[in-house]
Amino acid sequence: MVLIYMVQTSVSLIRINRFMNSDELVADAITHDEDSSKGNAVSVDSACFAWDKADGAEPALKNIELKIKTGELVAVVGAVGAGKSSLLSALLGEMELKSGKVKLFIASGIFLPASKALVDK
């Protein structure tokens, strides 16, 4: 039992160390717009996102085109590994924007939960 806790502690420390030593997010990769007159809460134009900052890094998301109108309810669904969490991370600015444009209109807040489906097949 003690061995299991030691292994879990070791893995946690490695993850914390990797997180604390990681590069800062690029603050200007995502544009935050305060003018909602265009009607879009989220606008993504021809964007490619990668998890790694290296120039030769293969993009995890390619050629993303997304427009979400203000007040619209959107659900992101798909198979395991399809890129749902990556898309949400990209919108939050947690992924490296390789090309394209991302613009968010922030009024009162955005709710981006990533939770397991409650429906079994």
Is residue 114 domain-resident?
no
Specify the range with the lowest mean pLDDT, choosing from 79-83, 103-107, 113-117: 113-117
Number of domains composing the chain? 1
Q: Which residues pair with 66 in a beta bridge?
A: 44
Please check the confidence at residue 107 and state whether its pLDDT lies above 80: no
2 alpha carbon, distance to own chain's centre: 36
Beta strands in 1-121 (DSSP E): 31-33, 40-50, 61-69, 96-105
Question: Is 84 within a domain?
Answer: yes
Q: Distances in Å between the alpha carbon of 21 and those of 14, 53, 64, 77, 98?
A: 11, 14, 29, 32, 22
Residue 5 falls inside a structural domain:
no
More confident residue, 25 or 119: 25
pLDDT per residue over 9-30, tens digit each?
999 999 888 878 877 666 666 7
Q: Flag whether 8 is in a domain.
A: no
Domain contains 16: no
The yes-or-no verdict on residue 115 having pLDDT over 70 is no
pLDDT tens-digit series, residues 37-76: 567 888 899 999 888 777 777 888 999 999 988 888 888 8
In a domain, 59, yes or no: yes
Domain that includes residue 85, residue range: 26-105
- CA 28 → CA 15, 66, 101, distances in Å? 26, 19, 11
Would you say residue 10 lies in a domain? no
> Does the residue 48 lie in any domain?
yes
Confidence of residue 91 (pLDDT cuts 50, 70, 90): confident
Instruction: Give pLDDT, residue 62.
Output: 92
Q: Give the position of tokens 């085109």.
A: 65
Kindly report whether the global pTM for this prediction surpasses the value 0.75. Answer: no
